[in-house]
Protein backbone atom coordinates (compact mmCIF):
# COMPACT_ATOMS: atom_id res chain seq x y z
CA UNK A 1 0.00 0.00 0.00
CA UNK A 2 1.55 3.34 -1.00
CA UNK A 3 2.08 6.07 1.56
CA UNK A 4 -0.72 8.65 1.68
CA UNK A 5 -0.36 10.90 -1.35
CA UNK A 6 2.50 8.76 -2.68
CA UNK A 7 1.54 7.45 -6.14
CA UNK A 8 -1.04 10.00 -7.13
CA UNK A 9 -0.80 12.62 -9.89
CA UNK A 10 1.14 15.64 -8.78
CA UNK A 11 0.38 19.25 -9.62
CA UNK A 12 2.82 21.18 -11.76
CA UNK A 13 5.27 23.32 -9.77
CA UNK A 14 4.90 27.08 -9.91
CA UNK A 15 7.35 29.21 -11.86
CA UNK A 16 10.36 30.49 -9.95
CA UNK A 17 8.70 33.90 -9.62
CA UNK A 18 5.84 32.56 -7.45
CA UNK A 19 6.07 33.73 -3.85
CA UNK A 20 4.92 31.29 -1.20
CA UNK A 21 5.29 32.53 2.35
CA UNK A 22 6.71 29.89 4.71
CA UNK A 23 5.34 30.20 8.24
CA UNK A 24 7.06 28.65 11.22
CA UNK A 25 4.68 26.82 13.59
CA UNK A 26 5.17 29.51 16.25
CA UNK A 27 4.26 32.24 13.76
CA UNK A 28 1.01 30.48 12.89
CA UNK A 29 0.29 29.88 16.58
CA UNK A 30 0.72 33.59 17.31
CA UNK A 31 -1.36 34.62 14.32
CA UNK A 32 -4.21 32.36 15.45
CA UNK A 33 -3.89 33.44 19.10
CA UNK A 34 -4.10 37.11 18.13
CA UNK A 35 -7.34 36.62 16.22
CA UNK A 36 -5.82 36.87 12.76
CA UNK A 37 -8.05 35.84 9.87
CA UNK A 38 -6.65 32.54 8.71
CA UNK A 39 -8.03 29.90 6.39
CA UNK A 40 -6.29 26.61 7.16
CA UNK A 41 -6.16 24.07 4.34
CA UNK A 42 -5.03 20.53 5.13
CA UNK A 43 -3.86 18.80 1.94
CA UNK A 44 -3.26 15.41 3.58
CA UNK A 45 -5.44 12.38 2.94
CA UNK A 46 -8.61 11.59 4.87
CA UNK A 47 -6.97 8.75 6.82
CA UNK A 48 -4.33 11.23 8.07
CA UNK A 49 -7.03 13.83 8.83
CA UNK A 50 -8.75 11.31 11.12
CA UNK A 51 -5.55 10.91 13.16
CA UNK A 52 -5.08 14.61 13.91
CA UNK A 53 -5.69 18.07 12.46
CA UNK A 54 -5.41 21.73 13.33
CA UNK A 55 -8.61 23.24 14.74
CA UNK A 56 -10.72 24.90 12.08
CA UNK A 57 -8.84 23.37 9.15
CA UNK A 58 -10.55 22.30 5.93
CA UNK A 59 -9.58 19.05 4.24
CA UNK A 60 -8.68 19.45 0.55
CA UNK A 61 -6.45 16.45 -0.27
CA UNK A 62 -3.64 16.97 -2.73
CA UNK A 63 -4.68 13.70 -4.39
CA UNK A 64 -7.93 15.44 -5.42
CA UNK A 65 -6.24 18.70 -6.45
CA UNK A 66 -7.71 18.58 -9.97
CA UNK A 67 -11.22 18.54 -8.45
CA UNK A 68 -10.94 21.46 -6.04
CA UNK A 69 -8.17 23.67 -7.41
CA UNK A 70 -9.91 25.23 -10.44
CA UNK A 71 -12.45 27.03 -8.22
CA UNK A 72 -10.15 27.62 -5.23
CA UNK A 73 -10.37 31.02 -3.56
CA UNK A 74 -8.03 31.75 -0.64
CA UNK A 75 -10.60 33.93 1.11
CA UNK A 76 -9.94 37.00 3.22
CA UNK A 77 -6.89 37.11 5.45
CA UNK A 78 -4.12 34.53 5.25
CA UNK A 79 -4.54 31.16 3.58
CA UNK A 80 -2.17 28.62 5.11
CA UNK A 81 -1.74 25.16 3.63
CA UNK A 82 -0.26 22.28 5.59
CA UNK A 83 0.37 18.56 5.38
CA UNK A 84 2.37 16.06 7.43
CA UNK A 85 5.89 17.44 6.89
CA UNK A 86 5.40 20.42 4.57
CA UNK A 87 6.24 18.80 1.24
CA UNK A 88 2.76 18.21 -0.19
CA UNK A 89 1.44 21.54 1.09
CA UNK A 90 4.30 23.45 -0.54
CA UNK A 91 3.65 21.55 -3.78
CA UNK A 92 -0.07 22.44 -3.59
CA UNK A 93 0.67 26.09 -2.78
CA UNK A 94 3.09 26.30 -5.71
CA UNK A 95 0.55 24.77 -8.09
CA UNK A 96 -2.16 27.18 -6.88
CA UNK A 97 0.24 30.09 -7.31
CA UNK A 98 0.96 28.88 -10.85
CA UNK A 99 -2.74 29.25 -11.66
CA UNK A 100 -2.71 32.80 -10.31
CA UNK A 101 -3.84 32.37 -6.69
CA UNK A 102 -2.13 34.92 -4.44
CA UNK A 103 -1.67 35.33 -0.71
CA UNK A 104 -0.76 31.73 0.07
CA UNK A 105 1.41 30.50 2.90
CA UNK A 106 2.78 27.09 3.81
CA UNK A 107 3.31 25.74 7.33
CA UNK A 108 7.02 24.90 7.35
CA UNK A 109 7.48 21.35 8.64
CA UNK A 110 3.75 20.63 8.52
CA UNK A 111 1.61 19.31 11.32
CA UNK A 112 4.56 17.28 12.61
CA UNK A 113 6.53 20.48 13.31
CA UNK A 114 3.38 21.95 14.89
CA UNK A 115 3.11 18.86 17.13
CA UNK A 116 6.78 19.02 18.14
CA UNK A 117 6.99 22.77 18.72
CA UNK A 118 3.47 23.97 19.58
CA UNK A 119 1.09 21.19 20.61
CA UNK A 120 2.70 17.93 21.75
CA UNK A 121 -0.76 16.57 22.64
CA UNK A 122 -1.39 15.82 18.94
CA UNK A 123 -0.85 12.17 18.03
CA UNK A 124 2.33 11.39 16.12
CA UNK A 125 2.12 9.12 13.11
* Residues with active-site annotation: 83
Q: How many CB atoms lie within 10 A of CB 108?
A: 19
Please tell me the distance from the alpha carbon of residue 111 to that of residue 118, in angstroms, as a whole number: 10
Enumerate residues 6+ apart whose C-beta is below 8 A from 85: 109, 110, 112, 113
Q: How many CB atoms lie within 10 A of CB 116?
A: 13
Nearest to 111 by CA among 122, 103, 97: 122
Please list the alpha-helical segments (H only) found in 34-98: 46-51, 65-68, 87-98
Q: How many residues does the chain have?
A: 125
Amino acid sequence: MPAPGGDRPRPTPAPATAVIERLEPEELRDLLANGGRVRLIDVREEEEWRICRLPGAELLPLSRFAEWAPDFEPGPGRCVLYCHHGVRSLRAAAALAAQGVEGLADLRGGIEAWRQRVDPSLPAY
